[in-house]
Amino acid sequence: MDESLMIRVEGLFKRFTLHVQGGAVIEALHDVDLAVGQGECVALHGPSGSGKSTLLRSLYANYQPSRGKILVRHGEGYVDMASSAPRLVLAVRRETMAYVSQFLRVIPRVSALNLVTEPLLDLGAGEREALDRAKSLLTRLNIPERLWGLAPATFSGGEQQRVNLARGFCACKPVLLLDEPTASLDAANRNVVVDLILEAKAQGQAVVGIFHDEPVRDAVADRLFHLEAA
Amino acid sequence: MNRDPQYNFAYLDEQTKRMIRRALLKAVAVPGYQVPFASREMPLPYGWGTGGIQVTASILTDQDTLKVIDQGSDDTTNAVSIRRFFQRTAGVEVTTATDKATVIQTRHRIPEHALAEGQVLVYQVPIPEPLRFMEPRETDTRTMHALEEYGVMHVKLYEDISLHGRIATSYNYPVLVNDRHVMSPSPIPRFDNPKMHMNPALQLFGAGREQRVYAVPPYTSVKSLDFEDHPFSIDTWDEPCALCGASDTYLDEIILDDGGARMFVCSDSDHCSRRQAMAAGMDSDHRAGSPAPAAGTEAA
Amino acid sequence: MSAGPLIAAEGSGNGSARPLLAAESLSKWYGLRAACRDVSFELWPGEVLGVVGESGSGKTTLLQLLSGRLTPCGGRVFYHDGDDVVDVHAASEATRRGLARTQWGMVWQNPSDGLRLGASAGANIGERLMALGQRHYGNIRNTAVDWLRRVEIPEDRIDDPPAAFSGGMRQRLQIARNLVTAPRLVFMDEPTGGLDVSVQAKLLDLIRSLVARMNLAVVLVTHDLAVARLLAHRLMVMQGGRVVEQGLTDRVLDDPLHPYSQLLVSSVPRV
């Protein structure tokens, strides 16, 4: 079996039951199978409501599938994100999987620089090394130096998203999940993101993303994974 | 004085005395541990030594010789009253000489003259609980003693040092008895604390208002609490006693006039007058041309 | 994927084979009312477990049961002290108090409950050290200064009593007092309750960094989902004394499954 396989989704179902709305049921994912290998970028593709975001979040264990497996290569073995103990899932997130959400979750009093270095420091990297890497990423993403020491609460949407991206790319983890990475970016920064994704792929990282921007998708995706609304 | 027959011996009834003696036995068995007892109504108010009196009353026999001191002196009001009380209710011999007493009741001092086996020193205690100032709840302090949780005692000493640069507690200085219980030695000056250690006499403590007795058996370890870098130390004076010349006793300061004149005098009146008597005896011996004083009166 | 084994939890992450704290079917009844019903979970070193729910859900009762302050009607609590397992409620009071002084911390919502109000800040921090037998004034004071720095209280306040501090400073002092013995497990009951938002932010930041740096395990009771999101790795949602849902914090908050969890999350404007 292929050792370069990083993610394997088997028979994934996700049903939301909205108790607050009188028990309305939404079948978001129906029997999804997906395989993603090292160095490849898979773009989740489908109309609104087809479950792209649900699938991406499920890979990160941010959503709990109703049925099925999400196997992620972790170290020498693999972990089922859908059914593993929280601390194991956290270990996978810390070492193996990065997730760049659509919106930066701002932590009060933590500077942009510290937000970006945190994942690398959690892996045990030295502070010097982490800072250098963070600074170079922030520079590439056109975040001016005067903002580095500030907490991003007062940044623009685009600036916040670029800090978010820097944080996601900083630690070069084997799997990278991207949810609309270029949504609030101008053309120049979109190109930077494209370059970052291509570099990640070249280093062997597996990338799964949702890209509404077609040119970006065409530039980075090796294949499209189609989802349909249930 | 003859014993007044209208009172039971030493005032208390026999059952009460037995009850207190049982408590004292328990206290002796666990040095420094506060034993509750049912404090009786005494013919003087709380705060005037009812605890000490009840302890003395419980252990007195008609063979005893009693000395009572208050702040080191035999002739202050309280000492006189208590001594007369026992003369009247027990008819015992009384004395001011420390070495002649079998039972010594004291408030706030330990006699300067070293005690011997067979003697009993009874202390009057206002607040027996050394942790009380930091922990007002009785339930908590009992648990702390039971579990040897004495960190808070050093908190008090720490605060002294941070406020005054040194441990400023000058009396009622807490001690560790038999390496187990922290005890309040009653409001004796810290100067007296070392005398409690390995003392050949039996030391009993009575608190009437708080209804506790505790004890330090003969030859028991009593260590004053301190820090490694702020060790326990006793008080010193710049001058010796103005009356007897002693430089190793606890001195009281006596104001002589309103111009600020003062002198320092031994607090232990018996000890001071003996020293004066000895010095006078030596003088008269000298004047009479008698042989040199015996070896014991001079440093070798 | 057949290359490589399926990793089960025991061999992962932080390398320890046993949970630090384990609750088994904990229950506490007051007459006919169940304050806590059949609560079980495991807590591992370095994990922050948030317990959320509304007033009366049983969160604080659970905390009291776990820390040995309240005796359960049913169930047990186990604490792993190195190689030893301590059944918290079967152990002697001396053992419990010893643990509470060394390996555990307890941060109360009202800092006055967790401080010695009659002692200075320095004495408050140094007390545990003195209780453990430290007898060098200079060293104790230096440790207190160090901790004041870590919790961002100006050093020159070391001799001030807690009454002279603001609420936020008192809370930070309480944290310092608890952490000076480097405990492995800390119980926190609404640590940011009653504080201004900016003061809260400072305190949360402090707790976050101390937890990470000292690899603390924490049981954090809070009704504030934003605090839970920020500090907790895992969440337990309690309702009527029962745990109705548990899992990773972001999973429970972003994909709540139980009706009560959904109600809780939807009741907050933006978590």
> Which chain C residues are within 8 Å of A3, Cβ to Cβ?
3-4
In a domain, A177, yes or no: yes
The CATH number for A105's domain is: 3.40.50.300
Tell me which residue in C93, C130, C158 faces B151 most closely, judged by beta carbons: C130
For chain C, say whether B168 makes contact (Cβ under 8 Å). Answer: no
Alpha carbon A32 to its chain centroid, in Å, reads: 19
> Which chain C residues are within 8 Å of B151, Cβ to Cβ?
127-132
Q: Is the CB of residue C27 less than 8 Å from the CB of residue C34?
A: yes
- Cβ-defined contact of A87 to C47 (cutoff 8 Å): yes
- Cβ-defined contact of A18 to C262 (cutoff 8 Å): yes
Quote the DSSP letter at residue B267: S
| Helices and strands counted in chain A (H then E) | 7, 9
Q: Long-range contacts for B80-86 (Cβ within 8 Å, ≥24 apart)?
A: B81/B44, B82/B49, B82/B53, B84/B1, B85/B11, B85/B43, B85/B53, B86/B10, B86/B56, B86/B57, B86/B60
- Cβ-defined contact of C127 to B229 (cutoff 8 Å): no
For residue B294, what are the contacts with CB-CB under 8 A and spacing of at least 6? none
pLDDT (0 to 100) of residue A197: 96
Q: Which residues of C touch B (CB under 8 A)?
A: 93-94, 97, 101, 116, 118-120, 122-123, 126-132, 135-138, 140-141, 158-159
pLDDT (0 to 100) of residue C3: 55
Tokens of A133: 């890497």
Quote the DSSP letter at residue C9: G
pLDDT (0 to 100) of residue B299: 39
> Which chain C residues are within 8 Å of B228, Cβ to Cβ?
135-137
- Cβ-defined contact of B155 to C130 (cutoff 8 Å): yes
> Which chain C residues are within 8 Å of A87, Cβ to Cβ?
9, 12-14, 44, 47, 233
Distance CA C186, CA C179 (A): 9
Choose, out of A64, A101, A107, the residue to mutate when testing the contact with C (most C CBs < 10 Å).
A64
| A65: nearest CA partner in chain C | C255
- Characterize the bridge pairing of strands A223-226 and A77-80: unpaired
For chain C, say whether B139 makes contact (Cβ under 8 Å). Answer: no
User: For chain B, which residues score pLDDT lower than 50?
Assistant: 289-290, 292-300
User: For chain C, which residues score pLDDT lower than 70?
Assistant: 1-3, 8-16, 270-271
Which residue in C140, C136, C111, C107 sits closest to C123, CA to CA? C140
User: Which residues of B does the annotation mark as catalytic?
Assistant: 32, 241, 244, 266, 272
- Cβ-defined contact of B149 to C131 (cutoff 8 Å): yes
What is the CB-side half-sphere exposure of residue A20 using CA atoms within 13 A?
11
In a domain, A117, yes or no: yes
Nearest-Cα distance to chain C for B144, in Å, is: 10
Q: Is the CB of residue B90 less than 8 Å from the CB of residue B10?
A: yes
- Cβ-defined contact of A64 to C247 (cutoff 8 Å): yes
pLDDT (0 to 100) of residue B204: 98
pLDDT (0 to 100) of residue A230: 63
Q: Is the CB of residue C9 less than 8 Å from the CB of residue A88?
A: yes
> Which chain B residues are within 8 Å of C128, Cβ to Cβ?
151
- Characterize the bridge pairing of strands B175-177 and B181-183: antiparallel
Tokens of B169: 């507690």
Distance CA B119, CA A147 (A): 82
In a domain, A21, yes or no: no
In a domain, A200, yes or no: yes
- Cβ-defined contact of B162 to C131 (cutoff 8 Å): no
Interface partners of C (3+ CB pairs, < 8 Å)? A, B
> Which chain C residues are within 8 Å of A59, Cβ to Cβ?
none
Number of domains in chain A: 1
In a domain, A136, yes or no: yes
Whether chains B and C touch (3+ CB pairs under 8 A) is answered by yes
Which residue in B109, B114, B133, B3 sits closest to B60, CA to CA? B3
> Which chain B residues are within 8 Å of C129, Cβ to Cβ?
151
The string of pLDDT tens digits covering residues B192-203 is: 999 999 999 999
Domain that holds residue A99: 38-64+94-226
Nearest-Cα distance to chain C for B44, in Å, is: 34
Q: In the predicted model, what is the mean pLDDT of chain A?
A: 93
The number of beta carbons lying within 10 Å of the beta carbon of residue A64 is 20
In a domain, A190, yes or no: yes
Quote the DSSP letter at residue A214: H
* Confidence bin at A185 (pLDDT 50/70/90): very high
Q: What are phi and psi of A44, to 5 degrees?
A: -80, 130
Distance CA A59, CA A49 (A): 17
In a domain, A24, yes or no: no
pLDDT (0 to 100) of residue B98: 96
As a whole-number percent, the residues of chain A with pLDDT over 90 amount to 87
Distance CA B203, CA B207 (A): 14
For residue A44, what are the contacts with CB-CB under 8 A and spacing of at least 6? A52, A55, A56, A208, A209, A210, A224, A225, A227
Rg (chain B; Cα; Å) = 21
Interface predicted TM-score (ipTM) of this complex, two decimals: 0.92
Distance CA C248, CA C236 (A): 9
In a domain, A16, yes or no: no
Q: Is the CB of residue C220 less than 8 Å from the CB of residue C208?
A: no
Choose, out of C237, C251, C264, the residue to mutate when testing the contact with A (most A CBs < 10 Å).
C251
- Cβ-defined contact of C135 to B227 (cutoff 8 Å): yes
Whether chains A and B touch (3+ CB pairs under 8 A) is answered by no
| A19: nearest CA partner in chain C | C259
Which residue in C267, C261, C269 sits closest to C237, CA to CA? C261
